[in-house]
């Protein structure tokens, strides 16, 4: 089924994230001319394939079998023999919080040709719809299920001076917003739902405001959500400070930490300061050793 116009190898093909019309001509051509299409869920992909007359053989390739050595070796052997294999996820660009990465790594190790057929991405669409600064952003995938781990991730993220993009499910959204209210109480948050679909909607507000909207029934808890946190310079929490390690202000900070925490161990001091400012504890420790005569 191969064609002279398409080189043998692995094709990572982006598919629509909601509206089935959001697929490229090139993606359809590659999928039609593949020898095999690996699908996260063949039942989901069938809807798209039926619309565009794609009759290529499909096979399930998901998080429960993507690490299977026999399956990976079989696919690699097919690719080595000159076959064209495409991989798609249920929606959007494969491998972005979806299966497929182990196969891509094996292709690289075996010097097998691979490429991406770009297209829809809920990460980029959500970021644009948020209206938050887009010149720099951080994508953190799905937030942890449990509050303790989620708070830890959010706490670390507050020091990233960019728009922050995460995935979240509707049934965890309210709990997530409560954690956001702890770490980002004054930051604007965008809840982006049903992207590219008929009922696409964007809710923007501070965490407490969004929680009230959920309680008032203004936000319907359904489906997966792209969560965007505006955390550029102008949105950073007021209590987060940045220090020049060579400044007198840093020396004053070190003295205050020693006095208020009753610690003398330099590594402990560095750890305490690192939690307060956007600098690794190792760098702080080295500077403390350098200025010890001034303390």
Phi and psi based region of residue 97 (left: phi greater than 0; alpha: psi -120 to 50; beta: remaining)? left
Confidence at 239, pLDDT banded by 50, 70, 90: very low
What average pLDDT score do residues 233-242 get? 47
Distance (Å, whole) CA 107 – CA 162: 33
With 0.85 as the threshold, say if the pTM is over it: no
pLDDT in tens, 246-273: 777 788 888 888 887 888 899 999 988 8
Q: How far is 203 from 99, CA to CA, in rounded Å?
A: 30
Cα angle, residue 141 at apex, residues 135 and 147 outer, rounded to 5°: 120
Stated length of the chain: 295
pLDDT digits (tens, 9 = 90+) for 164-207: 999 999 999 999 999 999 999 989 999 999 999 999 999 999 99
pLDDT of the residue at 117: 97
Contacts of residue 105, Cβ cutoff 8 Å, sequence gap at least 6: none
Give 5-44 pLDDT, tens digit per residue. 899 999 999 999 999 999 999 999 999 999 999 999 999 9
Tell me what pLDDT residue 235 has.
45
**Mean pLDDT, the chain, whole residue set:** 90
Per-residue model confidence (pLDDT) at position 1: 44
């Amino acid at each position: 089924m191969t064609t002279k116009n398409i080189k043998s190898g692995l094709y990572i093909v982006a598919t629509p994230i909601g509206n089935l019309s959001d697929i490229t001509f090139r993606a359809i051509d590659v999928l039609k001319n593949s020898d095999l299409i690996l699908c996260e869920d063949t039942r989901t992909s069938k809807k798209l394939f039926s619309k565009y007359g794609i009759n290529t053989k499909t096979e399930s390739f998901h998080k429960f079998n993507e690490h299977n050595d026999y399956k990976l070796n079989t696919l690699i052997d097919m690719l080595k023999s000159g076959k064209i294999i495409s991989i798609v996820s249920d929606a959007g660009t494969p491998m972005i919080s979806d299966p497929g990465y182990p196969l891509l790594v094996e292709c690289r190790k075996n010097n097998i040709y691979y490429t991406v057929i770009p297209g829809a991405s809920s990460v980029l669409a959500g970021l644009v719809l948020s209206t938050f600064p887009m010149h720099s952003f951080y994508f953190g995938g799905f937030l942890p299920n449990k509050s303790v781990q989620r708070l830890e991730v959010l706490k670390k993220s507050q020091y990233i001076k960019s728009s922050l993009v995460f995935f979240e499910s509707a049934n965890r959204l309210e709990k997530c917003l409560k954690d956001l209210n702890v770490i980002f109480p004054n930051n604007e948050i965008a809840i982006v739902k049903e992207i590219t679909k008929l009922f696409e909607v964007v809710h923007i507000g501070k965490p407490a405001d969004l929680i009230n909207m959920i309680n008032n029934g203004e936000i319907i808890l359904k489906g997966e959500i792209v969560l965007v946190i505006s955390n550029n310079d102008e949105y950073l929490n007021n209590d987060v400070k940045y220090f020049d390690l060579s400044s007198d202000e840093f020396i004053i900070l070190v003295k205050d930490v020693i006095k208020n925490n009753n610690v003398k161990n330099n590594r402990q001091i560095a750890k305490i300061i690192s939690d307060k400012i956007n600098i690794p504890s190792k760098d702080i420790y080295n500077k403390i050793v350098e200025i010890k005569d001034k303390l």
